[in-house]
Amino acid sequence: MVKKPLVSVIIPTYNRAHLLKRAIDSALAQTYENLEVLVIDDASSDETEYVVGSYRDPRVRYFRHCTNRGGSAARNTGLQLARGHFVAFLDSDDEWMPEKVERHLEVFRKHPEYDVVYSAVRDVYPDGSFRIRHHDGPEGQIYDLLLVRNVVGPTSAFVVRRECFEKVGGFDESLRSAQDYDMWLRLARHFKFKCIREPLVNYYWHGDQITSNVEAKKQGMLAILKKYEFDLRRTHPSVVADRYFRLGRFLVVEGQVAEGRKYVFRALRICPWRPKYALHLLLTAFGARPYLLLRSLRRRTSSKTLC
């Protein structure tokens, strides 16, 4: 019998002891059992170590940073310690479906030409409603598509051949947000992606995500734009303007109206023929309220489904 390949599951965590057990349980409950669960504690001050210590499953391995270094550093520590043929990522506030790892390995077996496999995601909201995203994600050589926007989802959706990281390196620890998006871009430069259309991850929205931190998200969006601006201007010149526009709109909604207006104006200067930019620049004169009303309207008409 051929031994089943080992899968390394990397769970970075920081002060999420109240959520961590759900993530670890979902990893240990996988129908595919030949895996190790690496919990990387980024110097938590809560009961994280106690929660992990309560497990007697030898597949669970615990490592702790002496100082808080951020999610990218925690994932990189996991990559350095991983012994598996494949690396899977699971954020400590997310949850996997029991068949997730098995489904991914089945794709790798049937399609050896792919090195990165991701699944659709179920967004779960505090009111119990949910929506499915990335069920129509792109496949193959997707670098140019990824330059436009993140069309493949969060880290918990991914399983990657370990040797891929030997070529592209680890996560960029200088980024305050969008570290996963940056990694997918770097992987997409060299490797082919495959999408599993069914949602195999529950992504819980609770307001504590890095993407909820306005300053971190702003710095991440600017850093990604700077890092990939050459390729963006070469393949999608208008996307540079759209990036500035989305950053400006985000800041206006979050109450940073003056700074947000600056980025919307920059988008208009790059693409003055786009009436949307001019309209939104005008809307910024009324502050965040028009944007909040539009966002509320979009959510009401979205395809969220009650559980």
pLDDT by residue (tens digit) across 223-244? Answer: 998 999 899 888 888 888 998 9
Average pLDDT over residues 2-8: 84
Q: Clarify whether residues 241 and 204 are in a common domain.
A: no
- List the alpha helices (DSSP H) in the chain: 17-28, 48-53, 71-81, 100-110, 143-148, 163-168, 179-188, 214-227, 229-235, 237-253, 257-270, 275-283, 289-300
Q: Is residue 71 part of a domain?
A: yes
Domain assignment of residue 72, yes or no: yes
Beta strands in 78-217 (DSSP E): 86-89, 94-96, 116-124, 129-133, 158-161, 193-204
pLDDT above 60 (res 20)? yes
Q: Is residue 64 part of a domain?
A: yes
pLDDT tens digits for range 135-193? 899 999 999 999 988 999 899 999 999 999 999 999 999 998 899 999 999 999 999 99
Band of pLDDT at residue 199, cut at 50, 70 and 90 = very high
Q: Is residue 291 part of a domain?
A: yes
Residue 68: inside a domain, yes or no?
A: yes
Does residue 229 lie within any of the structural domains?
no
Whether residues 52 and 174 fall in one domain: yes
pLDDT at site 301: 57
Mean pLDDT on 53-63: 97
The domain in which residue 283 lies consists of 236-306
The answer to whether residue 2 scores a pLDDT higher than 70 is no
Say if residue 189 is in the same domain as residue 245. Answer: no
Q: Would you place residue 207 in the very low, low, confident or very high pLDDT band (cuts 50, 70, 90)?
A: low
Alpha carbon 86 to chain centroid, angstroms = 18
* Residue 87 and residue 187 share a domain: yes
Q: Same structural domain for residues 258 and 202?
A: no
Residue 284 lies in a domain: yes
Question: Are residue 91 and residue 200 in the same domain, yes or no?
Answer: yes
Residues 158 and 240 in one domain: no
Domain boundary among 210, 226, 255: 210
Indicate if 150 and 197 belong to the same structural domain. yes
- Name the β-bridge partners of 130: 124, 305
Residues 40, 84 share a domain = yes
- The CATH number linked to 134 is 3.90.550.10
Residue 215: inside a domain: no
Question: What pLDDT score does 303 carry?
Answer: 45
Amino acid occupying residue 152: V
Total structural domains within the chain: 2
Same domain, 30 and 159: yes
